[in-house]
């Protein structure tokens, strides 16, 4: 039996094809005209909303070969859309979805540009995350569960940090700020980066960074680097800025270049010695032909600390 397609809405034609009466296939040339997109859009939206009762954000996850076969859409997929699942989806819902929202993206789809677009979409449109959310919540599963598979392209190799740098630039975030920094990231070179970063980007100075607390180290995310230095801030400082800090007892001193040079060139003479009669340690500084007595101390460490404190208070001005 022949019908006049113009007498029916596209989804009514589809219903006839589905039940096989009065026609078993779409009329010849039905999708060869300028109306093909509008006709397919009517059919597909009718299936999604009227037959399946799907919410719009559910649709991409149902786009499978089985779905097409069950709804007599396979022939359209093959001939009209040339095996391009996203083209079908975008024809039915123009500019609403992205390729990565499908269960599978076309082979070769991912590159640095599409990865950038997908990462920004994931963070800003899908999750509505702030930078703080990224630091505290983002994991590899965040990408996987939302269908953004760019994380495993060769350029990123599973690195969230590299994906974020590609999307927002290399100054956007540091690896240690993320919730999941791989243990393999840390080595003798990378453990030097966090303290320098605090000085360059966070307003610390070489003097104030000596007062960094363990809580702040945890907050900034580089506890693993701290742990590699036996949880010693002094060791981390010394690895980052060799020979610029001294530790006496539990006190850390910053030794600026001018003081280090003065000490090394003997412009000033400092001394710590043990006084046998008084059974105490003496700290003194010989400066400008004057011997400055700094006091008696029970331990050598206390005497050294007094000497270093004098250098800071009197010489580093």
Residue 252 lies in a domain: no
Helix (H) or strand (E) holding 254: strand 251-254
Task: Select from 56, 81, 101 the last residue of a domain.
Answer: 101
Q: Are 213 and 252 within 8 A, CB to CB?
A: no
Q: Closest by alpha carbon to 93, among 53, 33, 41? A: 41
Query: Hey, which residues does 245 pair with through a beta bridge?
Result: 254
Q: What's the whole-number average pLDDT of the chain?
A: 89
Q: How confident is the model at residue 266 (pLDDT cuts 50, 70, 90)?
A: very low
pLDDT at res. 141: 94
Task: With H, G, I as helix, E, B as strand and everything else as coil, classify residue 263.
Answer: helix
The answer for residues whose C-beta is within 8 angstroms of residue 212's C-beta and 6 or more apart is: 195, 198, 204, 233
Mean pLDDT of 75-88: 94
Structural tokens at position 46 = 């009718």
pLDDT at 92 over 50: yes
Residue 196 lies in a domain: yes
Residue 215 lies in a domain: yes
Query: 215 and 270 share a domain?
Result: no
Task: Select from 132, 162, 178 the last residue of a domain.
Answer: 178
Q: How confident is the model at residue 257 (pLDDT cuts 50, 70, 90)?
A: low
56-60, 198-202, 224-228, 244-248: segment of lowest average pLDDT:
244-248
pLDDT at res. 270: 56
Mean pLDDT of 110-137: 96
C-alpha to C-alpha distances, 61 to 56, 148, 195, 212, 310, nearest whole angstrom: 10, 13, 45, 49, 71
Q: With pLDDT > 90 as the criterion, what percentage of the chain qualifies?
A: 66
Cα dihedral value 177, 182, 183, 188, nearest 10: -70
pLDDT at 71 over 90: yes
Q: Closest by alpha carbon to 305, among 243, 259, 249? A: 249
Q: How confident is the model at residue 276 (pLDDT cuts 50, 70, 90)?
A: confident
Q: How confident is the model at residue 272 (pLDDT cuts 50, 70, 90)?
A: confident
- Residue 284: which domain range? 258-315
pLDDT at 256 over 80: no
pTM of the predicted model as reported, rounded to 2 decimal places: 0.73
Q: Are 194 and 225 within 8 A, CB to CB?
A: yes
8-12, 99-103, 268-272: segment of lowest average pLDDT:
268-272
Task: With H, G, I as helix, E, B as strand and everything else as coil, classify residue 134.
Answer: helix
Q: What is the pLDDT of residues 145-189, one digit of tens each?
A: 998 999 989 999 999 999 999 999 999 999 999 988 877 899 999
Which is higher by pLDDT, 217 or 256? 217
Residue 163 lies in a domain: yes
The alpha-helical segments, DSSP class H, found in the chain are 10-19, 36-45, 65-70, 74-79, 85-92, 112-120, 131-137, 140-145, 160-168, 193-201, 214-220, 223-228, 233-240, 257-264, 300-310
| Phi, psi of 248, deg, nearest 5 | -125, 115
Residue 107 lies in a domain: no
Helix (H) or strand (E) holding 176: none
Structural tokens at position 85 = 């699942």
Query: 171 and 191 share a domain?
Result: no
Mean pLDDT of 240-263: 76
Total domains, the chain: 4
Q: Are strands 269-275 and 280-287 parallel, antiparallel or unpaired?
A: antiparallel
Distance between CA atoms of 179 and 130, rounded to whole angstroms? 14
Q: How confident is the model at residue 77 (pLDDT cuts 50, 70, 90)?
A: very high
Q: How confident is the model at residue 268 (pLDDT cuts 50, 70, 90)?
A: very low
Q: How confident is the model at residue 70 (pLDDT cuts 50, 70, 90)?
A: very high
Residue 10 lies in a domain: yes
Distance between CA atoms of 233 and 225, rounded to whole angstroms? 10
Mean pLDDT of 238-261: 80
Query: 32 and 90 share a domain?
Result: yes
What's 266-312 look like in SS3?
CCCEEEEEEECCCCEEEEEEEECCEEEEEEEECCHHHHHHHHHHHHH
Residue 251 lies in a domain: no
| Phi, psi of 149, deg, nearest 5 | -90, 10
Q: What is the pLDDT of residues 143-156, one digit of tens each?
A: 999 989 999 899 99
pLDDT at 216 over 90: yes
Distance between CA atoms of 295 and 8, rounded to whole angstroms? 105
pLDDT at 283 over 90: no
Residue 247 lies in a domain: no
149-153, 178-182, 263-267, 309-313: segment of lowest average pLDDT:
263-267
pLDDT at 314 over 80: no
Distance between CA atoms of 16 and 294, rounded to whole angstroms? 103
């Amino acid at each position: 039996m022949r019908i006049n397609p113009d007498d029916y809405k596209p989804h009514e034609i589809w219903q006839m094809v589905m039940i096989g009466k009065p026609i078993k296939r779409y009329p010849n040339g039905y999708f060869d005209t300028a109306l093909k997109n509008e006709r397919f859009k009517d059919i597909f939206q009718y299936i999604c909303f009227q037959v399946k009762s799907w919410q719009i954000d559910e649709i991409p996850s149902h786009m499978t070969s089985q779905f097409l076969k069950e709804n007599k859409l396979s022939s359209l997929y093959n001939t009209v859309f040339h095996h391009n699942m996203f083209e079908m989806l975008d024809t039915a819902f123009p500019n609403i979805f992205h390729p990565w929202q499908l269960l599978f993206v076309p082979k070769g789809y991912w590159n640095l540009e599409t990865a950038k677009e997908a990462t920004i979409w994931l963070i800003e449109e899908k999750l509505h995350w702030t930078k703080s959310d990224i630091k505290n919540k983002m994991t590899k599963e965040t990408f996987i569960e939302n269908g953004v598979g760019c994380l495993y392209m060769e350029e990123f190799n599973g690195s969230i940090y590299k994906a974020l740098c590609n999307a927002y630039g290399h100054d956007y975030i540091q690896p240690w700020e993320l919730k999941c920094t791989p243990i393999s990231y840390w080595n003798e070179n990378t453990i030097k980066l966090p303290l320098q970063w605090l000085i360059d980007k966070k307003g610390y100075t070489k003097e104030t960074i000596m007062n960094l607390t363990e809580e702040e180290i945890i907050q900034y995310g580089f506890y693993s680097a701290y742990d590699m230095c036996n949880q010693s801030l002094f060791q981390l400082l010394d690895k980052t800025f060799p020979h610029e800090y001294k530790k006496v007892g539990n006190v850390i001193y910053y030794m600026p270049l001018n003081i280090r040079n003065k000490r090394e060139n003997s412009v000033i003479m400092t001394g710590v010695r043990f006084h046998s009669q008084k059974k105490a340690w003496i700290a003194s500084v010989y400066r400008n032909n004057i011997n400055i007595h700094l006091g008696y101390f029970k331990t050598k460490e206390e005497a050294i600390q007094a000497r270093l404190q004098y250098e800071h208070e009197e010489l580093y001005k």
